Amino acid sequence: MIEIGVLGAGTMGSGIAQVAAQAGHVVHLVDVNESAVQNAKRNLEAVLSKLVEKGKISADEHTAIIGRINYSSDILSFQNCGLIIEAIIEKIEVKHKVFEQLEGVVSEECILASNTSSLSIASIGSVLEKSDRIIGIHFFNPAPLMPLVEIIPSVQTSNQTLETAKSLIASWKKTVCICKDTPGFIVNRVARPFYGEALRIYEEGIADFATIDWAMTSIGGFKMGPFTLMDYIGNDVNYAVTESVFSAFYYDPRFKPSFTQKRHSEAGFYGRKSGRGYYNYAEGVELPKATEDNVIGQEIFERIIVMLINEAFDALFLNVASREDIDLAMMKGVNYPKGLLQWADELGLDWVLSKLENLFEEYGEDRYRPNPLLKRKVKALKHA
Ligand SMILES: NC(=O)c1ccc[n+]([C@@H]2O[C@H](COP(=O)([O-])OP(=O)(O)OC[C@H]3O[C@@H](n4cnc5c(N)ncnc54)[C@H](O)[C@@H]3O)[C@@H](O)[C@H]2O)c1
């Protein structure tokens, strides 16, 4: 079994190290910050002890897993690794520097992967001499619990790098989806309207946060409504992703960020982590009640779901991923109750299209333009 290197011992790096060690690999977890290394060690040991208490792993397994994780602040510990997954700060200049250094330490065969959520894999790989070893391996937070991993080959990635990464991550009992090196990959691209359209509906005064959340959970069957979910993710984090996807798509109005979210973020209303977001989480404060009006609820659900479906069609149209992977990614990465393309079939493609056409006509905004592939499919169905 190859040894795995994980660079960055923060939220993602420690989760990834846990997954790899539980899968039986010797893992080297490295961070420049000595206290981050110590924190990760403490946290991982506590998490693994909890797993023993819950009966998920035995005491012997616990000892073996802990024994397989080495902690260090020196990348020289990566010398014998067959794969390194970088999970450091999301800044391209820092990643460039670090990947250059990594290549100086590892063997010719070692795969160099990034867990970046928003940066281009091609750009990260551009600093490598042997750039066909670069690949994106994108875990979701928390890495030990979320089943999805998006694997992103860039224009430089060799087939061998892709195949090795794919089978390795699948052997860690993760659901692997292959995705083109495009902004937001699958999940962070296709999910944008879940937040963006909900915020827009709120801004238009159609409903308040609680009612929109109620519509999406009770009528749509989603596990969490958009505002509850944004409060979990953190408005600062979710806003930053939206802005980065918006600019990466050359300011396509489909991805336009919302002032409501910007102001909440600027005010420090990040969500659960700051005690207040769209909702107030202070002790003793009751959460607002939804106005459970089925007509409005249905309208909210329909508007958000057709926008999500349109985005899923766009990802398929531009070959970002296969139909199966687009549906699987949304179910395993963000817990959607159904894949969006399957959902579209169930709702009826002509119904989805006419809903989008109505929005496009009413608003005259490019964000509502129906995807050409959806239009083609509806046309084909009519002529079948
Ligand atoms: N947090 C998420 O939900 C999430 C999900 C998927 C992917 N990601 C991506 O994973 C990466 C890490 O995110 P995170 O949330 O774990 O960040 P984090 O802030 O929790 O951890 C980053 C760690 O990297 C360390 N670091 C910074 N520069 C370094 C360097 N030059 N060498 C070694 N270590 C260095 C820091 O000390 C810190 O401990 C980012 O690229 C992010 O986009 C994050």
- Tell me the per-residue pLDDT of 234-284, one tens digit each, with 9 for 90 and over: 999 899 999 999 999 999 999 999 999 999 999 999 999 999 999 999 999
Q: In what order do the strands lie in the sheet with 175-178?
A: 69-72, 27-30, 3-7, 81-86, 111-114, 134-139, 148-152, 175-178
pLDDT higher than threshold 90 for residue 362: yes
Task: Indicate if 188 belongs to the active site.
Answer: yes
Q: What is the Cα–Cα distance from 32 to 13, expressed in whole angstroms?
A: 13
Measure the CA dihedral 122/124/125/129, to 10°.
140
pLDDT over 90 at 383, yes or no:
no
140-144, 297-301, 342-346: range with lowest mean pLDDT: 140-144
Of ligand 1's atoms, which has the minimum distance to the CA of residue 117?
A: 43
Which 3 state secondary structure label does DSSP give 284?
Answer: coil
Spell out the alpha helix ranges (H) of 69-91: none
Would you tell me how many other CB atoms lie within 10 Å of the CB of residue 319?
9
What's the 138 CA to ligand 1 centre distance in angstroms? Answer: 12
Active-site pick, 150, 197, 302, 311: 150
Which residues sit opposite 139 in a β-bridge?
149
pLDDT tens track for 91-129: 999 999 999 999 999 999 999 999 999 899 999 999 999
What pLDDT sits at residue 370? 98
Indicate where the chain has its CATH 1.10.1040.50 domain(s). 189-383
61 is annotated as an active-site residue: no
What are residue 378's phi and psi, to 5 degrees? -65, -40
| Closest atom of ligand 1 to CA, residue 233 | 3
Strand segments (E) across 108-191: 111-114, 134-139, 148-152, 175-178
The burial class, CB within 10 Å (0-12 / 13-18 / 19+), for 107 is exposed
Which residue type occupies 203? E
Spatial separation of the C-alpha atoms in residues 43 and 249, rounded to whole Å: 37
Among 21, 29, 84, 76, residue whose Cα is nearest residue 51:
21
Whether domain 189-383 has CATH 3.30.300.30: the reply is no
Catalytic-labelled residue, pool 14, 115, 188, 310: 188
Tell me which DSSP letter residue 141 carries.
Answer: S
**Tokens for 178?**
């292959």
Rounded average pLDDT over 127-151: 97
Q: 327 with 341: CB under 8 angstroms?
A: yes
The pTM (predicted TM-score) of the whole model is 0.95
Q: What single-letter DSSP state applies at residue 5?
A: E
Residue 55 has pLDDT above 90, yes or no: yes
- Rounded Cα distance, 27 and 143, in Å: 15
76's enclosing H/E stretch is none
Give the CATH number of domain 3-178.
3.40.50.720
Buried b / exposed e over 120-159, threshold 16 CB at 10 Å, is bbbbbbbbbebbbbbbbbbbbeebbebebbbbbbbebbbe
Separation between Cα atoms, residue 307 and residue 226, nearest integer Å: 14
Q: Write out the residue limits of the CATH 3.40.50.720 domain(s) in the chain.
A: 3-178
Instruction: Return all residues near 98 (Cβ < 8 A) that are at least 6 apart.
Output: 7, 86, 88
pLDDT of 310 strictly over 90: yes
CB atoms closer than 10 angstroms to residue 284? 5
| Stretch 33-62: mean pLDDT | 96
List ligand 1's pocket residues with C-beta within 6 A.
Answer: 7-13, 31-33, 36, 87-90, 94, 98, 115-117, 139-141
- What is the predicted pLDDT for the residue at 77? 97
pLDDT of residue 102: 97
Which of 117, 139, 149, 187 has most ligand 1 atoms within 8 Å of CB, for mutation?
117
If residue 6 lies in a helix (H) or strand (E), which one and from where to where? strand 3-7
Element (H, E) at 269: none
Does the bond joining 142 to the residue before it have cis omega, within 30 degrees of 0?
Answer: yes
Active site (annotated) includes residue 383: no
**Tens digit of each residue's pLDDT (9 = 90 or more) over 143-197:** 999 999 999 999 999 999 999 999 999 999 999 999 999 999 999 999 999 999 9
Residue in 11, 124, 149, 187 to alter for ligand 1 test, most ligand atoms within 8 A of Cβ? 11
Q: pLDDT band at residue 384, thresholds of 50, 70 and 90?
A: confident
